């Protein structure tokens, strides 16, 4: 069960509200990499997890994301407030101004409604943990961009806190994944086909203003077999 404490996880202070910035903050309220998406993804994964220790972690972090949602929602609301009765300010986010009265809604910065389609829930713990590590990386970079677009001291402090916690979560999810002790490329139970798994297909050819074929650890050395495009091979064989 849930219990709400009438306190923010991080105290929010806004010195100069900026509706245009408030609109950008909606990305982390109702956007694809935002706090509601994170909260729901980890919470639903936690409900589905059979491993009690990692289930506990998923739900703990999911609940923390709800506390982040509360912080970012409070912050966005403070920045959006001037939209309500000022036509000039309202142009920064007409949807929030006209339909939302200067409040936050579960939309991204472009007015697209939040959707459960944002969530990655597979019912396979290690696969879900990989999605979560990537989700935290995305949340981190979005916070970093928001911080770079902001001059308000109090807002920057709160965003710095939220950005830091995403790194903390990335560390926890990574440790949880590693502690499963699974081989990095073993997903599920069925093994890959031995005859194609190590082939790198060179599906682009020639050299021009768009570059040339690159070699690196993704297609060279170790197990790699570098092969020309299957399309060319088929042509040569007269197929
Ligand atoms: Mn968060
Ligand atoms: Mn997080």
Long-range CB pairs of 122-126 (<8 Å, 24+ gap) are 123/48, 124/187, 124/188, 125/45, 125/49, 125/51, 125/54, 125/180, 126/177, 126/180, 126/182, 126/187
Asked if 82 and 159 sit in the same domain, the reply is yes
Q: Ligand 1 centroid vs 36 CA: distance in angstroms?
A: 8
Name 201's bridge partners: 227
The string of pLDDT tens digits covering residues 182-214 is 999 999 999 999 999 999 999 988 788 888 889
Taking the alpha carbons of 144, 145, 148, 150 in that order, is the dihedral positive or negative? Answer: negative
Query: What is the residue whose two structure tokens read 């408030």?
Result: 22
CATH of the domain at 62: 1.20.1260.10
Instruction: Provide the residue range defining the domain that includes 51.
Output: 19-179
Query: Residue 52 C-alpha to ligand 1 middle, in angstroms?
Result: 23
Average pLDDT over residues 95-122: 95
CA of 163 to the centre of ligand 1 (A): 7
Tell me what percent of the residues of the chain surpass a pLDDT of 90. 88
The stretch 135-143 carries a mean pLDDT of 98
- Our count of domains for the chain comes to 2
d(CA 34, ligand 2 centre) in Å: 9
| 3 is a domain residue | no
Q: How far is the CA of 108 from the centre of ligand 1 (A)?
A: 16
35 Cα–ligand 2 center, Å: 7
Number of H helices, E strands in the chain: 10, 2
Q: Average pLDDT, stretch 157-174?
A: 98
Q: Tell how far the Cα of 38 is from the centroid of ligand 2, in angstroms.
A: 6
Judgement on whether residues 175 and 208 belong to the same structural domain of the protein: no
Residue 7 binned pLDDT confidence (cut-offs 50, 70, 90): very high
Rg (CA), the chain: 23
pLDDT the model gives residue 198: 97
What pLDDT is attached to residue 239? Answer: 60
Whole-number Å distance, alpha carbon 9 to ligand 2 midpoint, is 14
Ligand nearest to the CA of 170: 2
CA of 33 to the centre of ligand 2 (A): 10
Q: What distance in angstroms lies between residue 14's CA and the mean position of ligand 2's atoms? A: 23
Give 25's pLDDT tier (boundaries 50, 70, 90): very high
Do 224 and 119 share a structural domain?
no
Two tokens, residue 63: 């609940």
Shared domain for 111 and 226, answered yes or no, is no
102 CA → ligand 1 middle, Å: 23
Contact 30/84 with Cβ under 8 angstroms?
A: no
**Position 84 in a domain:** yes
Residue 193 inside a domain? The answer is no
Residues 23 and 104 in one domain: yes
CA of 233 to the centre of ligand 1 (A): 48
Per the domain annotation, does 109 fall within a domain? Answer: yes
The answer to whether position 189 is within a domain reads no
Residue 188 domain-assigned?
no
Q: What angle do CA 106, 164, 29 make, to 5 degrees?
A: 5
Question: So what's the pLDDT on residue 232?
Answer: 81
Q: Integer distance in angstroms from the first to the last C-alpha of the chain?
A: 63
């Amino acid at each position: 069960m849930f219990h709400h404490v009438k306190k923010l996880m991080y105290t929010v202070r806004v010195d100069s509200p900026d509706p245009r910035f408030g609109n950008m903050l909606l990305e982390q309220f109702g956007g694809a990499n935002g706090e509601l998406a994170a909260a729901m993804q980890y919470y639903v994964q936690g409900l589905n997890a059979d491993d009690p220790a990692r289930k506990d972690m998923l739900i703990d972090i999911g609940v923390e994301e709800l506390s982040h949602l509360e912080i970012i929602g409070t912050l966005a609301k403070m920045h959006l407030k001037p939209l309500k009765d000022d036509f000039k300010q309202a142009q920064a986010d007409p949807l929030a101004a006209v339909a939302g009265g200067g409040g936050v809604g579960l939309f991204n910065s472009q007015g697209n409604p939040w959707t459960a389609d944002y969530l990655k829930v597979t019912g396979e713990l290690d696969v879900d943990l990989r999605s979560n590590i990537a989700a935290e990386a995305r949340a981190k970079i979005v916070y970093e961009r928001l911080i770079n677009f902001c001059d308000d001291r109090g807002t920057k402090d709160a965003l710095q806190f939220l950005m830091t916690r995403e790194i903390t979560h990335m560390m926890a999810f990574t440790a949880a994944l590693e502690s499963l002790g699974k081989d990095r490329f073993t997903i599920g139970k069925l093994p890959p086909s031995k005859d194609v798994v190590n082939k790198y297909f060179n599906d682009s050819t020639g050299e021009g203003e768009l570059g040339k074929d690159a070699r690196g650890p993704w297609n060279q050395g170790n197990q790699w077999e570098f092969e020309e495009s299957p399309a060319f091979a088929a042509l040569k064989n007269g197929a």
